[in-house]
Structure 1
């Protein structure tokens, strides 16, 4: 397990970072679950099939996760705060304009822009969450997922009622208004003040500063009379962004300097340098992280498909859509209890791997017995149990990432790689789920697949646990 290099920040601003990531996940969860309400209308409106509609409606979450590595490169062009606010704007505008998309392909392009905008806001929040909560990252990150749960059971009700009252166009406009609040999430990004003060004191000893903490004007040097030296803003931000992007890439100062050769040519041009860069990829540097990567992909696969097809599953069983949408509410409320249970177990130092394995097996059982009944009471009960277990498992990717990274210098790369794996799982999960339903016209078959995936996740986690224990014993 990766060793913590710092204690949690004492800056009260850390709670705004925590709430901002919760709000962004509230928006993401609300959009994802609301599309489960809108997917029948999308299929009819564009005369499409479920696999295509499911893939298109999964694009916001998919692109959000896929694009996180790109945001590491874009940081050098601007500050994290500006990037987060621009991302919030890009998140909302395509959803507002979505009802006027002339084809489902144009709709897919619009929703891809929404996902890219959310990625621009997500990565700075993830990065600074680890800065503010260095010691308790797993606990604090799991706490932010309450926002996703609340969005998953509140926003679909708003969208369903808007669909009845204002139609297809009005429901998208309201959803876009909710998404516009992501600009606020980007606006609160800034480094902790206590780390800046500590860093200034440290710089007098060793002449080094943490590049993460150079993002705001308050980090300017102070003379002996207490007056700030005035630098040109453009030069300060440019230099800050360059150094920040180097750190976010997982590069230390030595590797950053080696990028330029003595004859003025970039070292990227040499085969040896390319090989070294390839070896620095987090999947090669951290074998335990690579080992647990399949569990991350499959968890996103099952979660995305379940979120999108929970309401259509009930509608297909003969339940009115106005009542079927409340299954999302039941699952969301149950998910809150699941997240509380997970945090309580963390507080009492229960093993994360054991918690996830038990949740996987319970969830698998509920999916395997889906064929038993199609009554509303049975489906509501299953949605409740699935909400508890799946929202516990929602913390699996980042928790296992933190547990499997042994070198803290590889953590920024893992922060980018984990959402990328999630994007692969979401895109595959929604498309394959839609394809299976188009072929079989059976939601029972679909839910049985989700049960099998949770069994595979359990096996993956057990193997990870055994190998990690063996390594600790050998050390």
Structure 2
């Protein structure tokens, strides 16, 4: 009990801010690496004499395989420690970039970039540890780590372009691997943080009789324990998981159609690309405004408001596009990414409120898994919608509808909670009034 109290007192101060720094660095490196690979796409296509979609598919498979590593990272964190898991995954990711620099065939490049996807699992574990280390100042910590996404978007792609000009694509890939070596250091900085609740569960497992263990299905028990599958019995968690999945779908679709959509309207390639940079500024603004807004606004209110903002930003795209307004597209891009950033921060804080510390790492990993699955689905359906209709405007309206649809499970859960609260309040009031009447009747009988 003394050990648990000491850990509670250690939250929000001291080493917790070092964890925030590691989360900031990991977010910047993950986002920046994926964007840098996109910058290398034309050079890689020319080097391997292949089509654009082959290199694009290999880069997208990096993120797709990274999604698969998230449940694996959660199970390994339970078996080993989050520190060892992040270091192992980071070493594999760096090894993948080094192998990519030595690739002589496109098949070898695809395998190497698949290994790079382990950085996604490492990043998700760090986010889970950040949630464990913070309680009171979790809003500020999340905002700081989320600012790393803006840094990765705005700094690393231009830096990669400069490295390509000086060192070529192989040298640039090796330098990118050297930058990602910092992920190993981030993993080494993750001190184990155990709570009294975990110790209690361990003691209960120790006290369990051997005879009872023999009758249990150990495979199912281990899966439930290492992957924390009991999280899916919580309606609040499932609702937030669905929201993150839809959010990942919308964001990936927005990234896919934004630049070609702007070029279709007649804007130059550099002007179209700058719209994504403006989105990076919107994400940075979200990281700054969220801790301030959180002081006076509950997380669920923020989630509803920001979701409506992102829905309108995506839905107004056809109207702005009909006027061929570049400023209008830039404003909508900034508003959408600003709203999305604040919504993601609100969801992470809501997960923090409903999930225990001993399940937090797996909870964040499942959130990243849902986000990645949504992105993979959007990568196919957004392009398919354009091929069928020949217009990006319908894709924008579809993304707007999905953004609003993702909020429906959370709305149902909230309405159910309100109904239960009112039902309980009515029962309490009736019981209270009956008690008062009973006391009054007893008093009258006594007086008689």
| TM-based fold match above 0.5 | yes
Query: Bigger CA drift: 296-305 or 416-425?
Result: 416-425
**Structure 2 residue 331 is matched with structure 1 residue 381:** yes
Residue among 115, 118, 133 paired with 2:117: 115
Unaligned runs of 5+ in 1: 200-208, 212-242
Q: Is the 8 A contact 1:88 1:180 kept in 2?
A: yes
> What does residue 432 of structure 2 align with?
none
Equivalent residue number for residue 397 of structure 2 = 448
Q: Deviations over 1:412-456 (max 9, x none)?
A: 542332222222222222233344445555433333322121121
Aligned match of 1:359? 306
Whichever of the two has the greater Rg, that structure is: 2
Aligned counterparts, 1:66-85, within 5 A: 66-75=68-77, 78-85=80-87
2:204 to 248, 254, 259: 254
TM-score for both structures, normalised by structure 2:
0.77
SS at match of 1:189: coil
Alignment correspondent of 1:421: 370
Deviates more, 1:34-43 or 1:363-372: 34-43
Give the Å deviation of 1:297: 0.6
Task: Quote the residue 2:145 is aligned against.
Answer: 144
**Kept in 1: contact 2:314–2:397 (CA 8 A):** yes
Taking the aligned partners of 1:99 and 1:442, their CA distance within structure 2 comes to: 38
Corresponding residue pairs, total: 415
Bigger fraction of residues in helix: 2
- CA shift, 1:189, in A, is 1.1
Alignment match of 1:28 (pick from 19, 30, 55): 30
Q: Which runs of 5 or more structure 2 residues have no equivalent in the other structure?
A: 425-448
Change (3 A) 1:47 1:465: farther
Whether the 8 Å CA contact 1:146–1:339 is kept in 2: the answer is yes
RMSD of aligned Cα (Å): 3.8
Question: In 2, Cα distance between the equivalents of 1:332 and 1:264?
Answer: 52
Q: Helix, strand or coil: the match of 1:98?
A: helix
Q: Is the 8 A contact 1:353 1:465 kept in 2?
A: no
Say whether 1:295 aligns with 2:222: no
Match of 1:395 among 342, 345, 370: 345
Structure scoring higher RCO (CA < 8 A, sep ≥ 6) equals 1
Output the CA distance in 1 between the equivalents of 2:382 and 2:337: 19
C-alpha spacing 1:287/1:62, structure 2 compared with 1 (3 Å)? same
Specify the alignment match of 1:58 in structure 2.
60
User: Where does 1:37-436 land on structure 2 (aligned, <5 Å)?
Assistant: 37-39=39-41, 47-48=50-51, 50=53, 55-75=57-77, 78-98=80-100, 101=103, 106-120=108-122, 122-123=124-125, 125-163=126-164, 168-191=169-192, 252-255=202-205, 258=208, 261-262=210-211, 265=214, 267-269=216-218, 281-348=229-296, 350-371=297-318, 372-373=320-321, 374-405=324-355, 410-436=359-385
Deviates more, 1:395-404 or 1:41-50: 41-50
In 2, Cα distance between the equivalents of 1:170 and 1:314? Answer: 33
Deviation at 1:344, TM superposition (A): 1.0
